[in-house]
């Protein structure tokens, strides 16, 4: 597939970047419908940045601590994405709440992975809360990003059983393995849909 028909995509991270690594690996296939043009972090020390640099993908930091408020942070983020020619954004462990204006500007072109079967367990500490609730099944969701946190339309989900003796860490690992398989498939679906919608 030629580069013109691969949707230029940014991955936004805040931490270790294991989902980012799964997306980068999938996008190495020249037939993958998204081309990763930028990995961006709001934290200069995010481990995922080093991992991205090793693969030769351009990286950027927009440090939230260097901005006085959410609006100015989001404006800087938006400028950086547009400068890189980004058309699709994949949040991968990006732990910042985005302003409504930013989300509206990217709506339909920004997706996220969340470690629960949404609408169950929005927010943080999802594995701990799933165990406390005694659910038999847990998992992860890729969804479109809307202004309300963890509330956008679902693109894909993967399920895992909750087993006797699970701790939040053990359960997180079981879910994470599913995230790494699910997110590359979901990003490909969204990129294909966008590409087909803009092609005449």
What is the rounded distance in angstroms from the CA atom of residue 43 to the CA atom of residue 62? 7
Is the distance from CB of 86 to CB of 60 less than 8 angstroms? no
| DSSP-assigned letter for residue 46 | -
Q: How far is the CB of 16 from ligand GAR (least distance, A)?
A: 4
64, 67, 114, 180: the active-site residue: 114
Q: For 181, how many CA atoms within 13 A lie in the half-sphere containing its CB?
A: 10
Percentages helix, strand, coil for the chain, rounded to the nearest 5?
Answer: 40, 20, 35
Q: For residues 6 and 180, which CB has a smaller minimum distance to ligand GAR in the complex?
A: 180
Which of the residues 114 through 173 are near ligand GAR (CB under 6 A)?
114-115, 140
* Contact flag: residue 184 with ligand GAR (CB under 6 A): no
List the structure tokens of 120.
Answer: 């169950």
Catalytic (active site) residue 114? yes
* Contact flag: residue 33 with ligand GAR (CB under 6 A): no
Which range binds ligand GAR by CB under 6 A, 10-18, 29-37, 74-82, 151-159? 10-18
Which residues contribute to the site for ligand GAR (CB under 6 A)?
A: 13, 15-19, 48, 92-93, 113-115, 140, 176, 179
């Amino acid at each position: 597939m030629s580069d013109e028909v691969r949707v230029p995509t940014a991955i936004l991270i805040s931490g270790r970047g294991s989902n980012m690594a799964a997306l980068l690996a999938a996008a190495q296939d020249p037939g993958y419908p998204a081309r990763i043009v930028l990995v961006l972090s709001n934290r200069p020390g995010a481990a995922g940045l080093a991992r991205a640099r090793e693969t030769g993908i351009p990286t950027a930091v927009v440090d939230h601590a260097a901005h006085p408020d959410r609006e100015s942070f989001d404006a800087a983020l938006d400028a950086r994405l547009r400068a890189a020619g980004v058309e699709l954004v994949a949040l991968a462990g990006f732990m910042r709440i985005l302003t409504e204006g930013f989300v509206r500007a990217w709506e339909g072109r920004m997706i996220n992975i969340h470690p629960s079967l949404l609408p169950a367990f929005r927010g943080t500490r999802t594995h701990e809360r799933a165990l406390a609730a005694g659910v038999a099944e847990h998992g992860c969701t890729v969804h479109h990003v809307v202004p309300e946190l963890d509330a956008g339309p679902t693109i894909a989900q993967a399920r895992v059983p909750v087993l006797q003796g699970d701790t939040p860490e053990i359960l997180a690992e079981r879910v994470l393995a599913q995230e790494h398989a699910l997110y590359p498939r979901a990003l490909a679906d969204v990129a294909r849909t966008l590409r087909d919608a803009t092609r005449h």
